[in-house]
Structure formats: C-alpha cells, structure tokens
Amino acid sequence: MKVFFCKVDGGNFGDDMNEWFWDELFPGHSDIAPDTTLFGIGSILWRQNFVGNDKVVVMGSGSGYGVVPSELPQGTEIGFVRGPRTAELLGLSAEHAITDPAAMVSTFDRFQDFNTSGEIVFIPHVGTSKLPLNWDRIAHRAGVSYVSPADNSEHVILRLARANMVLAESLHGAIIADAFRVPFVPISISPTFNRHKWLDWAESLEMDIEFDEFLSSMKSTRKRLVQVKQALLRRKKPKLSNVANGTRVAEVVSQDEKAQARKWVARLAPAIEMMLVRDLQRAAQVPGFLSGDKILRTRQEQITARVNEVRDRLAA
C-alpha cells in the first residue's frame, strides 16, 4: 500500500511523520495490497482526496477541512477514524472512532530512551508559524521554548516528549504531548483556528478541553476593519454547513485573505509580539490537560488490534 497524507510546503511534522510512522505501526504495509491507498494521520477525509484513489483503507484519519462526503466512495474500507465527530459525519458506528493514531508514538522503541528537559514548550499551528513574526524572540521573552512545527518530525516529537508542559496551537503538538503524559494547554492564535478537529480528538479520549484565546484585544481592534471583522465573526465559531452530497466542516480561506492577514500582521508586528509574550506567560500558568492513563492505554490497545485486523484482511 502507498500512504496518502497532506504534504505541506515547507513541512509540518504532524503530517510528515506519516513517512516513517506506518513502518513502525504497520510493518510490511508497503508489500501488501498494492492497489490500495492507506489514508494516514491528518484531517484528510474530504471529498477531493478520494479522487484518483479507487481503493482506500482509512487508518485513523479525521475530518476538519473541505467537504466530507455524505457517502464514502465505493472501495473505501474503514479501519478506524480519529474521533466521534468524524464518525458521525461519515455515518459510521461509534466503534470506528478510536483516536488519532499518533497516540501510538509513545510505544515505539525509538522514543523510549530520553531525558526530560524541564521546558515549557510552545508550538503554533504550521500556518500561524509562517506569519511574519519573530517566534524565537517571542518565546524567549515569555520564558518558554519555541518549537517550529516545520522542523524534522522526530526532532519535534522528542522536544515535546521531553517537556514539562506544551502550549499547543498545533493539534499534533497536543496529541504527542498527551501520548507521553505531558500536560498540554490548547491555545488559539489564528482567527481560523480549527476547533472541530481538536474536539473530535479530545472527545475520542473523553476529555472536556477549553481553549486559551490569544490576541483577544488585538482581535477586537481588528473588528474596526470591516473585511476582517466579517471574517472573524464568520469563523469565531465554525459551523457545519450542508452542501451537495456532503458537509463542509470549515470555511474556505482564500489565498487573498491569507495574504491580507500577513500584511496586517506585518504592519502591527511589534504590538502583536508584545501581546503574544503576555499571552504565553499567562498560558504557562495554566495547569494543563491530560487524558486518563487507562483511557489512553485502552485506545492504544484498540488501535493495535484494529491494525492487526486490517493487515490480516488485506494479506488474505
């Protein structure tokens, strides 16, 4: 099987780990079912991604972007999905919603021998990390350590695993932290922060999480600009919307909107950086979230069992 995942320009560790992750969790997957595509880690269960993939086996992928098809294409097999929200959108039974497969990294041999760093680590969403801001300087002034989501995936995972706490706008930053029993604080910096995929994952582990909103005063100021105000009001609480033969999970952000946001950030960079320092300092004082030990172990056992089931079926 070939593995399908999102390839972000410049890299994104949560997606890039697919390059080696399945060799660890699903040994021999590349030698069986050559006509089948494995949908791996990531919010990739939207209609366009199924085009050109006649046979698909879904192994922990989730919803979060694009249009989720109301009916899965013929030839699609579900091993498991990331969480109950994804399962509901796809019309699947609750037993198909286990959790994000990245929760398995803490069981891999390559991540068993390391020392803790005692750091409080800050990792933004990869899109946020590309804004014209000096993230290293912001983190240093706040007394935390910056980890770029675009760095080498194994390096990022070790930085997160060794930390005392993780301040995460990156969903997989939180998933990795939780897997290694490191408390995490979900933070929202970007106006396009995707709550749907976070809640999908959190509910899979029976967690009731809350988001620490960053740049709240700056975002209020932005409301004076009509265009940005409309964007914020539209995205503050993303709503599911029905479209032809599917559901749109999050609104589409155009390249023009992204370019305008970058220009706005560049103009106000000094003020934004100062606010982010204060926000990070505040977030670092929050106790943080962590799933239950028993729940995490159960989900890891369920993933292992489901992978073995799929392997046996495809090999046969």
pLDDT in tens, 253-275: 777 877 887 888 889 899 999 99
pLDDT in tens, 107-136: 999 999 999 999 999 999 999 999 999 999
User: Whole-angstrom Cα distance, residue 90 to residue 78?
Assistant: 10
pLDDT in tens, 26-37: 999 999 999 999
pLDDT in tens, 228-250: 545 544 544 456 666 667 787 87
Neighbouring CB atoms inside 10 A of 239's CB total 11
Strands 37-39, 165-168: pairing kind: unpaired
The sign of the CA dihedral 37, 41, 42, 45 is positive
pLDDT of the residue at 226: 44
One-letter amino acid at 60 equals G
Strand runs (DSSP E) across the chain, as ranges? 2-4, 37-39, 56-59, 67-69, 76-80, 120-123, 145-146, 165-168, 184-188, 212-213, 241-243, 246-248
User: Whole-angstrom Cα distance, residue 124 to residue 159?
Assistant: 14
